[in-house]
């Protein structure tokens, strides 16, 4: 099934492919991202499909609001500090690049090295599953299209699983 819109420009495809390649190195989900990149005939990116920075910001905001509010994510919330402000800002920067948009995170912090950066936090199956469920709920509530949401959920699960450290 096609992932890209028809009639988009080639240069956009190049930026998307770069973003995907970086993600794959970080998280080891090459096959899923390659399928996303190559599946369709015309160039576009998940970043464009989701609606750009405004929609990524809305997704991240809803994600951390849900983490703060929903008892179902209590253990995940407990693994974070007293404030989620830093995490909110950094996840927004990171996801823009991860989705094939501007590399705000890398330009500020260099290579994400997400697994290393998560070592201080205790991440097991429970935290992994709550993170993905929280993100999936946020995607649903912020209107991420169903097929994009399903693909992103699978990629998030690969990434979150790779960050388990217990």
Residues forming contacts to ligand HEM in the complex (CB under 6 A) are 76, 79-81, 86-87, 90-91, 94, 109, 114, 117-118, 121, 123, 127-128, 131, 156, 159-160, 163
Tell me how far, at minimum, the Cβ of 10 lies from ligand HEM, in Å: 27
Q: Which is nearer to ligand HEM, 8 or 89 (CB)?
A: 89
CA distance 18 to 112: 14
String of b and e for 125-137 (b: at least 16 CB within 10 Å)?
Answer: eebbbbbbbbbbb
Tell me how far, at minimum, the Cβ of 147 lies from ligand HEM, in Å: 19
Q: Which is nearer to ligand HEM, 43 or 98 (CB)?
A: 98
Which residues touch 19 (CB under 8 Å, ≥6 apart)?
A: 45, 47, 97, 98, 99, 100, 101, 103
Tell me how far, at minimum, the Cβ of 6 lies from ligand HEM, in Å: 29
Q: Which is nearer to ligand HEM, 45 or 159 (CB)?
A: 159
Tell me how far, at minimum, the Cβ of 121 lies from ligand HEM, in Å: 4
Which residues touch 94 (CB under 8 Å, ≥6 apart)?
A: 104, 105, 112
């Amino acid at each position: 099934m096609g992932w890209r819109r028809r009639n988009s420009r080639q240069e956009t495809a190049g930026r998307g492919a770069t973003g995907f390649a970086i993600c794959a190195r970080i998280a080891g989900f090459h096959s899923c991202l390659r399928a996303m990149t190559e599946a369709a005939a015309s160039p576009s990116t998940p970043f464009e499909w989701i609606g750009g920075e405004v929609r990524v910001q809305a997704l991240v905001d809803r994600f951390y609001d849900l983490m703060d509010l929903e008892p179902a994510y209590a253990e995940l919330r407990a693994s974070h500090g007293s404030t989620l402000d830093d995490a909110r800002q950094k996840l927004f920067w990171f996801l823009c690049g991860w989705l094939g948009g501007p590399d705000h995170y890398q330009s500020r912090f260099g290579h994400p090295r997400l697994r290393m950066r998560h070592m201080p936090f205790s991440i097991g199956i429970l935290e992994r599953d709550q993170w993905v469920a929280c993100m999936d709920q946020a995607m649903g509530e912020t209107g991420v299209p169903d097929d994009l949401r399903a693909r992103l959920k699978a990629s998030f699960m690969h990434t979150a699983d790779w960050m388990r450290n217990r």
